[in-house]
Amino acid sequence: METTSDKNTATFTHLSTLTQYFFPFGNYIFPILIWSSKKDKSEFIDFHGKQVLNFQLSLLLYSLTLIMIAAPIFIFTVFSNISFNSMMNHHDFVFTDFNFENNIGIITVGLVAVLIFGLLKVAEFFLIIYAAIKTSNGEKYQYPLTIPFIK
């Protein structure tokens, strides 16, 4: 049976990832601080600290992959439709003959990557709240689609 203090600390570890909306890298810094200070005192806190960090690292990996798909597509599509001749003369970006028919496939892939990224961020928010509720009830919660970096 977990103590109330252990449950609260583990719950706060999950909720501390929401600091990413206020502090850059807060979703890594604060859980690491909480987990590293209490992991030796409770197996419950140690388990949840690892879950939180593995989930955040997995999301980072998924996000970087989606960015690596979407960014080159956006850059390629934009620069392939800019007239550099008129830019040299007038110092303005001019899109000439932008043809969706030639770019629709690659644009679709980029938009799908951006959409998946957005859905991933929404799912992250709700999964963090759900994990915090489960943890506060004393249950061991494992995030879905998480790569176990820390064992």
The model scores a pTM over 0.85: no
Q: What pLDDT was estimated at residue 72?
A: 85
The total of structural domains in the chain comes to 1
Question: Is residue 52 within 8 Å of residue 13, measured between CB atoms?
Answer: yes
| Cα–Cα dist 19/96, whole Å | 44
Series of mean pLDDT values for 10-residue runs along the chain (151 residues): 90 94 92 93 94 95 90 78 58 59 78 91 95 94 92 86
Neighbours of 142 (CB within 10 A): 14
* pLDDT value of position 13: 95
User: Is 147 part of any domain?
Assistant: no
What is the predicted pLDDT for the residue at 96? Answer: 58
Amino acid at residue number 135: T
In a domain, 145, yes or no: no
Identify the domain containing residue 34 by its residue range. Answer: 4-134
Residue 52 lies in a domain: yes
**pLDDT of the residue at 52:** 96
Residue 87 lies in a domain: yes
